[in-house]
Structure 1
Amino acid sequence: MIMDEPKPLGEGSGPNASRLLSAAVGHCLSASLLFCLSKARLNIEGVETTVEVSFRRNEKGRLRIGSLKVHLNLSIRREEVERLKRCLELFEDFCVVTQSVRQGIPVSVDVTTRDEKRS
């Protein structure tokens, strides 16, 4: 894996550490939810995950990740939406990366299906 910083520190030839952390959180949540849904025998047609990173400065003026907002959008048959509820109650707790990051950075998560509007 090639990691890099944007100019002027690097060439931007790969993700930097902040982007990699946000990708790890998004992927871990997606995998955790998909695992639960497969155990529940729900037929998922697809999932799209986006992570919004906000930055802030600490008391010394140093840049830090302030929060992460994760949105998972599931493609699922309408008749199976009701069966999602149990997995939605459980999946975040089984995501090792997200639960570790939450000890220092606020992470919010929302899940919608293709038939729902994004909250």
Structure 2
Amino acid sequence: MNAQEPFSISLKLLDGYRFEVDFGDAGTLLTDEPEPLGANSGPNPARLLAAAAANCLAASLTFAIRKFKEDPGQVSATVEGYLARQDGRWRVDHLDVNLQLGVDAGDIPHLERALSQFENFCVVTQSVRQGFAVNVSVFDANGVAVHTG
């Protein structure tokens, strides 16, 4: 049996559909549903899920490159989430994540090795993929696609 690593987050309804999410030492975040249900005063859970996947992938890519003592430059990410009706209910259908390296691919000698393993380091994406697709593309600083998966 695998050991589990617990973590805890607490939420408190403030008003309407606006919640305060307490991450403990990491601070708080306000969430809300978009109009007309909420006031759109913060990200909703679907957007938090998309942000979590993109952030985890960007950190995993950075880690995989740094493992070889190489510099990925200023890594950035964009993510597009798609909702679709499934059995009459809205669900996250899939995410498309684009990661951008801050340097040219040629400046990272072990890039191919890092690209072959970084997605497996991402706890969030690998977990979410059990329910729906997360498509990942990586581009270097010149916009050249170096990975699609």
The answer to whether the superposition gives a TM-score over 0.5 is yes
Structure 2 Cα separation of the partners of residues 90 and 69 of structure 1: 18
Structure 1 Cα separation of the partners of residues 65 and 108 of structure 2: 11
1:80 is matched with 107
Q: 2:143 aligns with which of 91, 116, 119?
A: 116
Secondary structure of 2:55's counterpart equals helix
Give the root-mean-square deviation of aligned CA atoms: 1.5
Q: Which has the higher helix share?
A: 1
Mark the runs of 5 or more structure 1 residues left unpaired by the alignment.
none
Q: Which amino acid letter does the alignment assign opposite residue 60 of structure 2?
A: S
Moved beyond 6 Å, runs of 4+: none
Structure-to-structure mapping, 1:1-119, within 5 angstroms: 1-59=29-87, 61-77=88-104, 79-117=106-144
Structure 2 Cα separation of the partners of residues 72 and 42 of structure 1: 17
Q: How far is the alpha carbon of 1:79 from its aligned partner?
A: 3.5
Mark the runs of 5 or more structure 2 residues left unpaired by the alignment.
1-28
Secondary structure of 1:34's counterpart equals helix
Q: Which stretch has the larger CA shift, 98-107 or 3-12?
A: 3-12
Q: Which stretch has the larger CA shift, 81-90 or 105-114?
A: 81-90
Instruction: Give the alignment's TM-score, normalised by structure 2.
Output: 0.74
Structure 2 Cα separation of the partners of residues 23 and 78 of structure 1: 25
Q: How far is the alpha carbon of 1:82 from its aligned partner?
A: 4.4
Instruction: Give the alignment's TM-score, normalised by structure 1.
Output: 0.91
Identity of aligned residues (%): 45
Q: Which protein shows a greater Rg?
A: 2
Residues 43, 77 of structure 1: 8 Å contact kept: no
**Quick one: higher RCO (CA 8 Å, sep 6+), 1 or 2?**
1
Structure 1 Cα separation of the partners of residues 126 and 105 of structure 2: 30
